[in-house]
Amino acid sequence: MDETAPPEAEKYIAPSMLLAFPGKEAVIQPARCYLAKEISTIGRAPQCDIVVDSKAVSRLHARIERNGPRYLLHDLHSANGTFVNGRRLREPHVLQDEDQIGLSQPAPLLVFVDADPTDFVTGQLRYDERAMLFSLDKKPLDLTPAQFRLLLHLYQQAGAVCTRESCAEALWGRDYDPGLDAEALDRAISNLRHKLREVKPDADMLKTVRGLGYVLDP
């Protein structure tokens, strides 16, 4: 199969692309795919836009939706899961430059390359992925490592509910234990809200969804 050709400049904003991870070119066709379509599919089936020659990969394993400058990766209820930077997807993921995608296992098969890796902006909250820094209203947020991990998790799922379990995993890298972790998680969320309000006193972007979890709505 020939590599997908880049689209004509007059018809498209320059699209981002997926590249086969170094050493995996033999099982990925094409080894370079421009994400010019609204939806690009990944899987073992020959009809997919990116075909992966592995029996562990589902026939229709994942898809990437293009929405303006954003690219959203969905796992399509695959048998063995989709992974980004070693972590299994539990919900759709907004791809960022140099994200590594694994199919059926954490080890990467694909790399996402942003055509224009500028600061990723959601409302007034900005994340500079190269510097790994957050800012609010153009003012830097002075976050502890734990606050950074929690805010990054919420930010990557902006507008969607993040469960207490997923927040605990982002904070501590382990399963949530309600008896052990409930108070500490409540405190972590409260401290993050306080940190946001230090920069912007009227900030009300981190909301609690009772019985479910939290939503970051910048």
pLDDT at res. 218: 66
pLDDT score for 12? 40
pLDDT at 66: 87
> Mean pLDDT of all residues in the chain?
86
In the predicted structure, residue 9 carries a pLDDT above the cut 60: no
Q: What is the token pair recorded at 206?
A: 């981190």
The arithmetic mean of pLDDT across residues 10-34, rounded, is 82
Higher-pLDDT residue of 64 and 118 is: 64
Tokens standing for residue 133: 């820094």
